[in-house]
Amino acid sequence: MKALVAYYSESGNTEKLAKAIYGGIDVPKKEIMPISEAISKDYDVIFVGFPVQASSVPAKVEGFIKSIPEGKKLAFFVTHGSLRGGQLAISALYYAFSLALKPSVIGTFGCRGQVKPGLIDALLKNPEHKAWAMEAQSAAGHPDKSDLEDGKEFANLMIAKARNM
Ligand SMILES: Cc1cc2nc3c(=O)[nH]c(=O)nc-3n(C[C@H](O)[C@H](O)[C@H](O)COP(=O)(O)O)c2cc1C
């Protein structure tokens, strides 16, 4: 079994989580790289990570998800400013699901990621971003140690699940 962690990250939060997930993958062959460099066809299990943007999937990540061939096992992970488990973040995961070939998604994980200082004030004035920006005010410091531990455990469980399929 060969595993890939492919991520997109603008301010480093998703990259931190990607590294924790990579650390939790217990297979002899594994690689981690930005989505811009990733080619999915060589792997059996692919972890795809991205920041939630405008309650959705960043355009660069959409193309990658769509390009993943049939027969791969996919696990999505996201960071987001809004509350963990909230509808604003979950809608992005639903959309990611809709881009992938259906039976291939074996799990998802999300945690909060702080928004760049100064940005929240500007976003609160923008109707498109106001809802999540209000929630994002308490995301400072995330992903924290506990988020990264959870991410690592998620990776471990996904590999166990993929082995048993
Ligand atoms: C342009 C932009 C749009 C965003 N939209 C959302 C959103 O709709 N919902 C949300 O919860 N967080 C949103 N965020 C916050 C990011 O998802 C969050 O800070 C994430 O951890 C950033 O990850 P990164 O450092 O890997 O880029 C947005 C951030 C930016 C810069």
Top mutation candidate among 50, 56, 129, 135 for ligand 1, by most atoms within 8 Å of CB: 129
CA of 54 relative to ligand 1 center, distance in Å? 8
Ligand 1 atom with minimal separation from the 13 CA: 25
Ligand 1 atom with minimal separation from the 82 CA: 11
Give yes or no for residue 165 having a pLDDT over 90: no
pLDDT digit string, tens, across residues 119-140: 999 999 999 899 999 999 999 9
Helices (H), 24-144: 59-67, 87-99, 119-124, 130-136
How does the average pLDDT of the chain come out, rounded?
A: 95
pLDDT digit string, tens, across residues 40-84: 999 999 999 999 999 999 999 999 999 999 999 999 999 999 999
- Note the residue count of the chain: 165
CA of 1 relative to ligand 1 center, distance in Å? 32
Please give the pLDDT value at position 116. 86
Whole-structure pTM value: 0.97
The 3-state secondary structure of the chain reads CEEEEEECCCCCHHHHHHHHHHHCCCCCEEEEEEHHHCCHHHCCEEEEEEECECCECCHHHHHHHHHCCCCCEEEEEEEECCCCCCHHHHHHHHHHHHHCCHHHEEEEEEEECCCCCCHHHHHHCCCCCHHHHHHHCCCCCCCCHHHHHHHHHHHHHHHHHHHCC
Q: Is 77 in the pocket of ligand 1 (CB under 6 A)?
A: no
